Structure 1
Amino acid sequence: MFDRVKNILNKHTKRYKVACLGFYPAIAQYNGIATIGGYSPNYPLQYKHSFRKIIEKTLNNNPEMKRQFDYWGSYCYLQVTSLKNTFMGNRPKNIVIDASELNFKQMKKLGAKYILSTYELKHNQNLKFMAKVESPNKFWTIYIYKIL
C-alpha cells in the first residue's frame, strides 16, 4: 500500500516530506517516506517548538493534549481537536474531519509538501486532494493531500 503512496508522491517530486494524521509517522518512515513528525528521544528543542506551531490551536482547545505534548518531549504528532478521543493507530471511523486548525504554512516551513491521513479531510483552501489509496485486505485507507 505504501509503495502505491510513494509512486503517487514520486510522480510529483523526487524530494518530499509528509505530515501524518491518524497514524504514527514511524509507519511512513519504515516504508521509506520522510516525515516532519515522529517519536524520538533525541531531537532539538527548537524543532519541537517549531512543530508545536502547527498544532497550537488544537493544543489550546484541549488541555490534556497540550499537557501531553508540552511535557512529554519525545513525540511530535499531528493532532486535531475532532480526534481527541481517537488513539492513533486505531482503525479510523468513516468520518470526514476538519483540519483547518492546523498551521499549513508552518508545515511547509518544516519541509512538508503532503499530508497522509487515515481520515478524509473536509475541503480546505490550503489542501488539494490527490488520491485515495485503499485495499480490501488492508487496515487503513490513506488519503493523500498536497499542501498548497
Structure 2
Amino acid sequence: MKRLFLVAALVLALAVPAIAAPPSQLNYGCGLGATVFKDGQANDSLLLQLVATFLNGLCGNGTFGITSGTSDCASPSKTASNDRLNEFAYRNLDDLARDIAAGKGETVTTVAVLLNVPVESRPAFYRNLQARFTEIFPSPAVETAHVVDAITTIAAQG
C-alpha cells in the first residue's frame, strides 16, 4: 500500500506545472503526442510532456510524421529536389559555374526546374544567381554541398 501511495505521490509531483512554453515551442516535437495534445496543452505539465514524447516515439510515428508531413509535423519541403539538385550539381559543377556567371544557360534552367522556380520568376532568379556568383563559388575548390546550399538559400529568398 505504501508503494502505491509513493508512486501516486511521485506522479502528482511530476504533474505540477513546469515552466510553460508558448504553443509554438513544443518541447515534445511532433507525432501522435502532438496530435493528442493540440495547442501545446502538454506544456503545462512535465508528466503530460513525457506522455506526449512517449506517444511521438510509439511505433515510429514521429519519424513517419516528419517524412510525410502528418501528425502536426512540418513536411521537409525540398528533400527530394535537393537530392536531385545535389546529384545534378555534382555532375555538372563546371558548367553550372559558367552558366551562373553568364546569368543564363541550360544548367541554371535545370536548377530552376529542380527548385520549382515559377517560369515567370526565372529571369530574376538567374540575375540573383549571377549577382551572387562569388557567394556561390567562393573558391575554385568549392564543395558541391556549399554550392547547393547557397543556391537553395538564394532561391528561398525569392
TM-score by length of 2: 0.23
More strand per residue: 1 or 2? 1
More helix per residue: 1 or 2? 2
Larger RCO: Structure 1 or Structure 2 (Cα < 8 Å, ≥ 6 residues apart)? 1
TM-score by length of 1: 0.24
Q: Which protein is bigger by CA-based radius of gyration?
A: 2
